[in-house]
A and B are shown apart, each in its own frame.
Chain A
């Protein structure tokens, strides 16, 4: 086996170039000032100090709130969906999973534009409402539009891991629970849900990561005034050109995400140990 170990080197070099190096660059940018060219850099913590201004703290709080709301909705809808899918025969299941993943074949931008044409003030939904004699509803550029866009975009990432854990589950455990006198709810809670927790946690982590760093969906459905962390970073890099501050925000975001994942992995571990 030992001589195979050498074959790992190309991978390590590759990972170093495309993963570690950019990360180090971001960290370097975040603790320096002096422009984007790295020729006349000076070390400073001003970029991080700027983040403590109430306006930027608010952006973080808002992003987290929105991320958590999206994850909760995704979890409720996604779990139900995955649970229903497992109740079909295996052939139907694979078709249904295909249906869940089909939207992912289409570019996010295109899907988001589709939401715009549905939700806008003179869009499809409002046109139908007016035809039926109702008042039109203002949906674009609201929290509702952004959460809707996020949930519809992220749902597959929740459904698939949960479905995977549920479908691997041994059905005789449920029968055993029934035989031992547990009612339907108790069986679900103590057996089915408990066994699907790894899938749930994976789904939660993935959707949370994606929702907290998104910038396209809030920009298109929330308008330019809808600033989340992702938009803040995008602005610093693309339009303002302050890569130092942008990197500092990225580093803080990465740190917070790392903490959240560690926290959630810990729940996973505790659950298993409890068994």
Chain B
């Protein structure tokens, strides 16, 4: 979901093929223990899956989704998974709909290494159901050779600065786009007040008409690495990866506040082998594994030891790698009731359909 490049997609496809080939030829794990894991695309170091299979003598069926919403649609249509790694607001929704099992923290000794700032977020205050996987925030990735640093003091309003017309990638996501508009107007990103939402809609409609942004998906990663446009809305983890490939870029999260998010591992009610599911979660938090994972995908590990190592080594000088989780104006996305959700969805459809 949050990270892709064409080359990676191709290598990914090849790997999936060889993986399924090796499964077909039945290379002989004698045990029939299986774990079905559902994660965002390009969001794991796939070597870890093989290591886990070897260490615990089991088979991991690994599938990927491209957004929380498509994950939810698939699960709702009856597909069963043991461990899923969605984002905070989606976890809150799954908790409310009673789809998750409680985590037995005594089975996850590696949780001792977790950063406390990433625990106890509003979506699951006591972490009864979720174990952090990666975290980060959302900000503006900009080309230092094109964007005047003085304009950055406008915060999110720089996205409506006509100097940069046609040089902008927005993120093709309803919640992230409305988050920007609401924060630029000084409101909460979790508002249910229709007047505020309408104002945010006007902000986005005005931006669409005056700035002609491209609402991009994951293609933004390749495009920013090639330096195609001057600014892009990206997650901090993508920013880290892109900046490590293109040194002209810098990342900033406006003072008016941004979204801080946390993607976490959850165990579904469908899971029968909960012991194996806990082993998997514990395995991903093991410092060396967490380091391999974060070094591979560029997202920030909640395991302090792994994060420090990556920050000192792989991502030295890239400030986007460690987002500040303690800023006053930042917020976590919360669950939206179906009426508010439908209202946002309709407005977002209109934003994108008008042209």
Contact = CB atoms under 8 A, between A and B. Distances in A.
A113 B69 contact: no
Please report whether the interface of chain B is mostly helix, strand, loop or mixed according to DSSP: helix
Given A59-B353, A242-B345, A120 B208 contact: no
Contact of A224 (B72, B73, B342, B352): B352
A61 to B, nearest CB: 11
Contacts of A121: 223, 226, 228-229
Contact of A120 (B72, B223, B345): B223
B353 A241 contact: no
A56 B355 CA distance: 11
B245 to A, nearest CB: 13
Interface in A236-275: 236-242
B355 A225 contact: yes
Contacts of B170: 224
Given A58-B353, A113-B6, A225-B208, A241 B73 contact: yes
Given A56-B353, A58-B353, A120-B223, A223 B72 contact: no
Nearest to A237: B73
A12 B159 CA distance: 57
Nearest to B169: A223
A141 B214 CA distance: 8
A238 B76 CA distance: 11
Contacts of B338: 35
Chain B residues touching A, range: 20 to 34
B63 interface: no
B345 A240 contact: yes
B215 A225 contact: yes
B27 interface: no
Contacts of A64: none
Interface in B206-228: 208, 213-217, 219, 222-223, 226-228
A257 to B, nearest CB: 20
B341 to A, nearest CB: 8
Interface residues of A, number: 31
B73 to A, nearest CB: 6
A140 B166 CA distance: 12
Given A116-B219, A239-B69, A239-B174, A227 B345 contact: no
B72 A227 contact: no
Interface string B63-88: 00001011011001000000000000
A64 B23 CA distance: 46
A235 interface: yes
A241 B90 CA distance: 13
A227 B355 contact: yes
A42 interface: no
Contacts of B345: 240-242
B172 interface: yes
Nearest to A219: B217
A235 B226 CA distance: 29
A55 interface: yes
Interface in A94-137: 113, 116-117, 120-122
Contacts of B67: 238-239
Contacts of B355: 58, 62, 225-227
Interface of A: 35-36, 55-56, 58-59, 62, 113, 116-117, 120-122, 140-141, 219-220, 223-227, 232, 235-242
24 contacts: A58-B354, A58-B355, A62-B355, A113-B6, A116-B6, A120-B223, A121-B226, A219-B217, A224-B214, A224-B216, A224-B352, A225-B214, A225-B215, A225-B352, A225-B355, A232-B349, A232-B353, A236-B349, A238-B70, A238-B73, A239-B70, A239-B174, A241-B73, A242-B342
